Amino acid sequence: MIADIQAVLARLPHRYPFLLVDRILERGEREGQPFVRALKNVSVNEPYFQGHFPGRPIMPGVLQIEALAQASIFLLNDQMPEGSLAFLAGVDGVRFKKPVVPGDQLILESQLEFFRRNLGKVKTQALVDGVVVTEATIMFAVGK
């Protein structure tokens, strides 16, 4: 299942400048668990590059985690009750392995580990040119 920006906007509550998913590239199962692969085009026009860092623009790690969390919501949407939202509840095992810079295509991969009642846990990684640049396990709480 490929979803363009219109489908992304229909599923995520985020908007510019905080929408960090441009497209869903793949949705399915991996190792028997729901899986999603998404794309974030990293543009030099992003507002955070003005100050992070002048002369050496690097995508902030917290925004890489946010992009991974937003992609992960596509795994949780099918599990959540109508009208609810997924909120970031925790982040574990974060590793930033390589800087993400303007011109990179950030591939966001998320695999659902579990979803029970109002809690979900997702294993994530971000890649550039097939190399893992960021990884984290993200916990979500679902509420109205």
User: Would you call 52 a catalytic residue per the annotation?
Assistant: yes
Per-residue pLDDT reduced to its tens digit, 12-32: 888 989 999 999 999 999 999
State the CB neighbour count (10 A cutoff) for residue 29: 10
Largest CA distance in the chain: 47
pLDDT for position 64: 98
Exactly one of 11, 23, 27, 52 is catalytic; name it.
52
Question: How far apart are alpha carbons 132 and 96 in whole angstroms?
Answer: 9
pLDDT by residue for the chain (144 residues), tens only, comes to: 678 899 899 888 889 899 999 999 999 999 999 999 999 999 999 999 999 998 999 999 999 999 999 999 999 887 888 889 999 999 999 999 999 999 999 999 999 999 998 999 999 999 999 999 999 999 999 998
- Nearest alpha carbon to residue 75 among 20, 35, 30: 35
> pTM for the full model?
0.95
Q: Is the dihedral of CA 69, 79, 120, 36 positive or negative?
A: negative
Asked: is 5-143 a CATH 3.10.129.10 domain? The reply is yes
Q: Is the dihedral of CA 52, 105, 11, 28 positive or negative?
A: negative
Question: How far apart are alpha carbons 69 and 49 in whole angstroms?
Answer: 21
